[in-house]
Chains A and B, each alone.
Chain A
Amino acid sequence: MRRALVPLAAGTLAVWLLALVPARPAQPGKRPGFMDVAPRSKISYTTHNSFAGRKYFPQPMCGGVATFDFDNDGRIDIFFTNGAKLPELKKTDPSFFNCLLHQKSDGTFEDVTARAGLTGEQLDFNFGVAVGDYDNDGFEDLFLCSIGRNALYHNNGDGTFTDVTAASGIGGKPAGTLSIAAAWFDYDNDGLLDLIVSDYTLWNPKTDARCMMSDRDYYCDPRRYPSVPPRLYRNLGKGRFVDVTAKAGLAAAPGKGMGVSIADFNDDGWMDVFIANDTEPNSLFINQRDGTFAEKGLELGVAYNENAQVGSSMGSDAKDFNNDGKVDIFYNNLMGQVWQLLRNRGNLFDYYSSLGQIRKLSMAYSGWSTGFIDYNNDGWKDIYSSNGDVDMMNARSPQHDTMFENVDGKSFVDVSEEMGKDFLHKGYQRGSAFCDLNNDGALDIVVTSLNEQPRLLMNTAGTGNHWLILNLVGHKSARDAIGAKVKLTTSSGRVLYNHVAVSVGFMSSSDKRVHFGLGQEATIGSVEIRWPSGIQQTLKSVAADQVVTVDEPQK
């Protein structure tokens, strides 16, 4: 269903209503939960890391997820990455294949991997997946991270994808580089999405260190392996990329990259990059607006924890948790370490995990993918984490996911126990992506678990809170508008912030649409958008409880 909505903003913008969902009656105080709807569909995909007694270093990192609409039918589809047979490093049989699930009109999913050409049988052990329309043709493309060759798949717009890695020039990297995650963003604001790849170390099965205790394998400490820098590929247009890692100043900042988060941390209109580094200082690459970045993690207070020590930084997300207009950072950690919420104070970040109660809530869990998600549409972004220890050592190793609810932008409470039995599934959860599977305005979560089928956690909603989802379409900016900043002011004057972010958590890509929970407020005063191109746009009289597509104006 589409109908025109008259915009009051300057410029020649077009706003379409994609879906209009009536507001539910208010039920203040009731928390929604999550129900796994995967069993409604026939899904053959199982995250397969090739564990068979012998432990190989990359095995704990398996099962990247992307939630995106690959065929532009208005319904979210899902892509999963998968492992490979070890030590052969080959997808020797279909159990290791990647998987594309197409959402049908009845809300169930069908496996269209083979038809789409995305099995990845020519690849090896895949980790993360990054979704982005790098050629601005209106169809989302895929970049896959691997132990061996990374892969760029072009979306042909007809339900199929083509591996264009070789022709694109994006596949180059030092041999044996473990590429874990990647993020599309337009670092030079030229309207073309560039790509940063969060690389971890150099490894191959022959150099795999075997760690044993009492004749039992355990996964070795990452500090046994060298650090490597992330890689940046500049989009030259026409499907060509060039490696600008050294030129952009990234080569001098090695780490063990896990989660990668894109945001404009200093609000200068240029996208910056945060990378959570496992057992190494985290990196914060501040865009110098001249094609280079300055690594300022230590200077700005995000490289280390409050005792100047490194942690096992895992997944990350960068959003404005307290709606003060400044983008904050969250990254999770392993058991016994504090998950860090870093509050952006403008020119410095401060440690907010103690003040925000995250310290107490987090230390019992080993977190992997994570992200800010306003799961109850109250206007405050909550924190989700997919959990499970690295190794399978004891009863505390399999863990359930956690939801830390944001209380007025000041502190967090653990509401996991109220999220339902499907949410509380214990295992070794890894990738996760946020989206609105059924376009009801309540955010859902897709989660992978090692050697298990994924969960499609549908938000039971029912809070009665209102919402708005914006699908921003760039024209001067890259079509995906990654990084576009949105300020929403409700009729009562409450101000909420969000931005377009796809790389969320660990090895995963979330739906690019920008979500706002509005609490009990059903009317919106204004929506102000700052596009990556610098163009400012203001929308008035936008109704709540709908998915709205907004085109970038000419100026």
Chain B
Amino acid sequence: MLHFQAGMALALCCYAAHGQETPERILQQAMALHQAGQLERAIPQYRAYLKLRPDAVDARSNLGVALASTGRYQEAIVAYGEALKRRPGDPHIRLNLALAHYKPGQISEAAALLSALHSEQPADRQIMLLLADCWLRQGEDRKVIDLLTPIAEGDRSDLAIAYLLGTALLRDRQVERGQQMINRILINGDSAEAHLLLGTARLNAMEYEAAIADFEKAAQLNPRLPDLYSYLGRAHIQTGDTAAARLEFQKELEENPNDFESNLNLGALLKLDQDYDGARRLLDRALRVRPRDPGARFQLAAVDLGAGRLDQARSGLEAIVKESPQFVEAHISLAAVYYRLQRKADGDREKALAQKLTMEQRAARSQEKIE
């Protein structure tokens, strides 16, 4: 989002007319280049201007936009941060900063910024949809449902809302309500979004072949639909076809290098192939999207365990069980690590803990069934 202030633009025109290398002339050149789409040339001009006028907030913001547009998100984040130091709370800059986090997959940071913006501007639909998408990527399905349900009732024609809400509902196993969202999309004709949602519902119902058929239909209609190949990959994993799954995850990552599920699942597959470096690279990327995700951290620890990096595995797993003491698989893996480190007493303790938790969870599940 490029912000030009009318007054400043007028002043720039005047300086430009004189053809002098004043700070304002430099800024004028930067903006002209920016508007002409010559971003790589605009960026040094903005930087040159900001050396002379370090407090020019709009120029800093423009620099951020130019940097983000060329994919230099980290530099953009720095530029927006500098701008916000000088104009704290500016909603446009904060939204741009959120986008600069969102695009390279720093979803946690983006979600935090968008959540604050949404609190201040609850009616802003763009912020709301971006926030819903962030939460969906973070696996916060209930939050998405709470966020979008009120407006979904008021606006039945917005397919983006139907899609985001439908996905969250299906993931949350609210199949009937999810189906209503699918119907809204289907009313508008055969669409990729509808097939993606149908496939998701079938994936949840463990109808893997049918899910794959729906996802493939979606791919025919819109091969660039976000998350599509990630879901295809997950469906293929369930059939055991890891080669196909790997290809689908790779396709998703070509479009969306920071897709959490694709990085996580492909990382786990590479772990099974004992490509531990490749697995670690992908899991690190997944953790940039969801830094606290225990599943991704567990897989990373499993990579370390497989690669024989026992101390790394131990510290990773110890942190997981500290934060998620009910995570049985983490206790089991930690026990295995302790045994390999010749710490038998610790291994025995973790093993016993895992057995106890397993029994408790089984008892709770059978209690649920009785109730």
Contact = CB atoms under 8 A, between A and B. Distances in A.
Interface of A: 223-224, 296, 298-299, 301, 303-304, 306-309, 336, 338, 348, 350-351, 353-355, 359-364
B274 A359 contact: no
A217 to B, nearest CB: 16
Interface in B312-343: 328-330, 332-333, 335-336, 339-340
Nearest to A211: B369
23 contacts: A223-B362, A224-B366, A298-B335, A299-B339, A299-B347, A301-B336, A304-B329, A306-B272, A308-B302, A308-B328, A308-B329, A308-B333, A336-B206, A350-B306, A354-B269, A355-B272, A355-B273, A359-B272, A361-B240, A362-B240, A363-B238, A364-B239, A364-B240
Contacts of B239: 360, 363-364
A63 B235 CA distance: 35
A362 B242 CA distance: 12
Nearest to B362: A223
B241 interface: yes
Given A224-B366, A298-B335, A299-B336, A354 B329 contact: no
Interface string B257-285: 00000000000010111100000000000
Interface in B211-245: 238-243
Contacts of B347: 298-299
Nearest to A365: B240
A354 B273 contact: yes
B238 A336 contact: yes
A306 B302 contact: yes
B240 A299 contact: no
Contacts of B336: 298-299, 301, 308
A69 B75 CA distance: 79
Contact of A359 (B242, B302, B328): B242
The size bracket of the interface on B is: 20 to 34
A297 B110 CA distance: 44
B243 A360 contact: yes
B101 interface: no
Contacts of B306: 350
B25 interface: no
Contacts of A350: 274, 306
A304 B302 CA distance: 13
A181 B332 CA distance: 27
B220 to A, nearest CB: 25
Interface of B: 206, 238-243, 269, 271-274, 302, 306, 328-330, 332-333, 335-336, 339-340, 347, 351, 362, 366
A contacts with B: majority SS: loop
Nearest to A348: B340
Given A359-B242, A360-B240, A307 B329 contact: yes
Contacts of B302: 306-308
Among A296, A353, A354, A361, the one with the most B-chain Cβ atoms within 10 Å of its Cβ is A354
Contacts of B272: 306, 351, 353-355, 359
A294 to B, nearest CB: 10
Among B240, B242, B329, B332, the one with the most A-chain Cβ atoms within 10 Å of its Cβ is B240
Nearest to B295: A307
Contacts of A363: 238-240
A351 B272 CA distance: 7
B339 A298 contact: yes
10 closest cross-chain pairs (CB), A and B: A363-B240, A354-B272, A308-B329, A299-B339, A308-B332, A360-B240, A308-B333, A359-B240, A360-B241, A298-B336
Among A306, A336, A359, the one with the most B-chain Cβ atoms within 10 Å of its Cβ is A359
A283 to B, nearest CB: 13
A301 B337 CA distance: 10
A354 B242 contact: yes
A309 B241 CA distance: 20
Given A301-B336, A348-B340, 7 more contacts: A304-B332, A307-B302, A308-B333, A308-B336, A350-B274, A354-B272, A362-B240
A361 B243 CA distance: 12
B265 to A, nearest CB: 12
B332 A338 contact: no
Contacts of A308: 302, 328-330, 332-333, 336
A299 B273 contact: no
A178 to B, nearest CB: 19
Contact of A298 (B238, B269, B330, B332): B332
Contacts of A223: 362, 366
Among A223, A308, A355, A360, the one with the most B-chain Cβ atoms within 10 Å of its Cβ is A308
B11 to A, nearest CB: 63
A265 B299 CA distance: 28
A359 B241 CA distance: 8
A495 B269 CA distance: 32
Nearest to A304: B332
A403 B366 CA distance: 38
A298 B339 CA distance: 9
B261 to A, nearest CB: 16
Contacts of A301: 336
Contacts of A359: 240, 242, 272
B210 to A, nearest CB: 13
Among B274, B332, B362, B366, the one with the most A-chain Cβ atoms within 10 Å of its Cβ is B332
A299 B340 CA distance: 7
Contacts of B242: 354, 359-360
Contacts of B328: 308
A336 B243 CA distance: 17
A363 B237 CA distance: 10
Nearest to B366: A224
Nearest to A296: B339
Nearest to B236: A360
A120 B124 CA distance: 79
B183 to A, nearest CB: 27
A437 to B, nearest CB: 33
B122 to A, nearest CB: 41
A338 B330 CA distance: 20
A168 B329 CA distance: 43
B309 to A, nearest CB: 14
A303 B340 CA distance: 15
Contacts of A304: 329, 332
A272 to B, nearest CB: 17
Contacts of A299: 336, 339-340, 347
A361 B329 CA distance: 26
